[in-house]
Structure 1
Amino acid sequence: MTIAYQVLGQGKPLIVIHGLFGTSDNLKQIAKSLSDQYKIYLIDAPAHGDSSTPDPLTLNNMAKAVLEFADQQGLTQFSLLGHSLGGKIAMEIALLENARVDKLIVADIAPVQYKSRHNHILKGLNSINLETLENRQQANETLSQFIDDVGVTGFLLKSLTRAEKPQSGWKWRFDLNALELGYENLIKGNSLLTYPGPTLYIIGGNSNYVLPEHKNEIVTRFQNTSVKVIQNAGHWLHAEKPTAFIKICRDFLA
């Protein structure tokens, strides 16, 4: 396994993991703001960006890939910050390796089984012929037939890039085939283990990803949990309210 990463700052290590269909750049603003006090390892999650894909693609294997990366960096102990799917991976790491995780921040995701909510996105992505695609605008028009949220289409198009020579055409900066095949594994609940360390859930007040009925599954696994809600923010809370998000992270990590 290869994990692509950027390093920012100096201090105690903090591994930052983005969500589904993203790359390390998605949380770079947050990482830069925290890098004055922490050494940030801003990674491309497995099957995303320039990182390789574990086989099969499961939360457990993604977590083990990040732990292998931590070994390669000589990190015996570190904190974690993960958003959405990155939060699920971060939770799995903490559940698997209690002693190695100093503190855990989970942004707008719970350790529960989710219903499929990305089928329209997968259909839209698969409807684009990357070999014949002429430009980004054409891709946007195709995606817009399946996705009515311009923010989501804009987010996805950030991962559309020209294929490297000698290949022609375009490519996605995520392993679309593997993510589609492994999707049901990624929306499963996390392992039924426990993590006793300090855990913070940051929730978007307008989001429906972390609900009151998820409380039992959270506290059963993460007994030392606190919760912060960012009002007037949705699932992309770190992008919508970065100042509030950064302050909450900084206060908890300190």
Structure 2
Amino acid sequence: MKLNYKIQGQGPTILLLHGLFGNLDNLGIIARAFNHQYQIIQVDLRNHGLSPWSNNMNYTVMAEDIVELIQSLAVEELIIIGHSMGGKVAMRLTEMIPTRIKSLIILDIAPVIYTADSHSQVFKAINACTSYIQGQQVPNDRNTVQQVMIQYLSQSTIQFLLKSYKSDHWLFNFPVIEKHYSDILGWQDITPYYQPVLFIKGSHSEYIKQEYHSDILNQFPYAVIETVESAGHNVHSEQPQTVIALIEQWINH
């Protein structure tokens, strides 16, 4: 699958992979921090943003999409930074292109199967304001969508989702995401990756619990786990300066 992407800057390559319901702009804070000395590739993962839609959605096919993109751009070596779902895609890439990965940074996600349905309210909200005729999404104006969603979600979550609402349509493939949500929560253990990997977690987030540290170390024996205080799951947007400093220190060490 040929993904939508944008490239800025020059120098060594950093690839940024966004999370569920996001798009290539979600890690823009990191892109802007490093584009003066790196080539930044921001990608819309399949079924998100302006990338093609598909009925298949799991970490193998999402990682294969990235491999295809990297090969098409003739990138021999890269730093990969992935948040949430994008972090799991990044971890899956360690089995597919291990020799091309110069450095790996995972933002607030662990290589585990998550059992808690942390997006139940999001699904309820999107279903409440989205309807279909013969499988095609019926346009709805942005204000109406916002008014419906406020019954289910916080204003910050609504604003995040609305970044993927353009021309009165969702840019993400909601029916397929809902259908394959168990695949997104899920995980298949990978071959241990014997290179250093930086995991950055928010202190208020439940995505990297203490009990998950053994899962991380089983698959990434040389992992380093850093906690950012006063941050939740979107650690990069809640405490950008701290996260950028950790990334900069990691890729320059």
TM interval, shorter chain, is over 0.9
Which whole-Å deviations, capped at 9, do the CAs of 1:33-92 have from their partners, x for residues lacking one? 111221110111121101123442111110111111101110122110001111111111
What's the counterpart of residue 184 of structure 1?
Answer: 182
What's the counterpart of residue 217 of structure 1?
Answer: 215
Q: 1:136 aligns with which of 121, 129, 142?
A: 142
What's the counterpart of residue 249 of structure 2?
Answer: 251
- How many pairs are equivalent? 245
What's the counterpart of residue 238 of structure 2?
Answer: 240
1:121 aligns with 2:122: yes
CA displacement at 1:110 relative to structure 2: 0.3
What's the counterpart of residue 197 of structure 2?
Answer: 199
Which stretch shows the higher mean deviation, 152-161 or 114-123?
114-123
What's the counterpart of residue 154 of structure 1?
Answer: 159
Task: Please give the alpha-carbon distance, in whole angstroms, between the structure 1 residues aligned to 2:27 and 2:220.
Answer: 24
Task: Please give the alpha-carbon distance, in whole angstroms, between the structure 1 residues aligned to 2:97 and 2:173.
Answer: 27
Which stretch shows the higher mean deviation, 15-24 or 118-127?
118-127
SS at match of 2:129: coil
CA displacement at 1:191 relative to structure 2: 3.2
Please list every run of 5 or more consecutive structure 1 residues that lacks an aligned counterpart in the other structure: 163-169
Please list every run of 5 or more consecutive structure 2 residues that lacks an aligned counterpart in the other structure: 131-136
- The alignment-based identity, stated in percent, is 30
Kept after mapping to 2: 8 A contact 1:95/1:191? no
1:112 aligns with 2:116: no
Task: Please give the alpha-carbon distance, in whole angstroms, between the structure 2 residues aligned to 1:13 and 1:191.
Answer: 27
Task: Please give the alpha-carbon distance, in whole angstroms, between the structure 2 residues aligned to 1:131 and 1:181.
Answer: 19
Task: Please give the alpha-carbon distance, in whole angstroms, between the structure 1 residues aligned to 2:220 and 2:9.
Answer: 29
Kept after mapping to 1: 8 A contact 2:83/2:107? yes
Amino acid at match of 2:118: R
Task: Please give the alpha-carbon distance, in whole angstroms, between the structure 2 residues aligned to 1:132 and 1:251.
Answer: 46
What's the counterpart of residue 49 of structure 1?
Answer: 49
Task: Please give the alpha-carbon distance, in whole angstroms, between the structure 2 residues aligned to 1:24 and 1:56.
Answer: 20
Task: Please give the alpha-carbon distance, in whole angstroms, between the structure 2 residues aligned to 1:202 and 1:54.
Answer: 31
Task: Please give the alpha-carbon distance, in whole angstroms, between the structure 1 residues aligned to 2:25 and 2:234.
Answer: 14
Task: Please give the alpha-carbon distance, in whole angstroms, between the structure 2 residues aligned to 1:97 and 1:26.
Answer: 24
Which whole-Å deviations, capped at 9, do the CAs of 1:90-137 have from their partners, x for residues lacking one? 11111332212111100000010002221221121122136352x322
SS at match of 2:76: coil
SS at match of 1:68: helix
For the aligned residue pairs, the C-alpha RMSD in angstroms reads 1.4
When residues 131 and 54 of structure 1 are mapped into structure 2, their CA distance, relative to the original with a 3 A threshold, is closer
When residues 77 and 54 of structure 1 are mapped into structure 2, their CA distance, relative to the original with a 3 A threshold, is farther
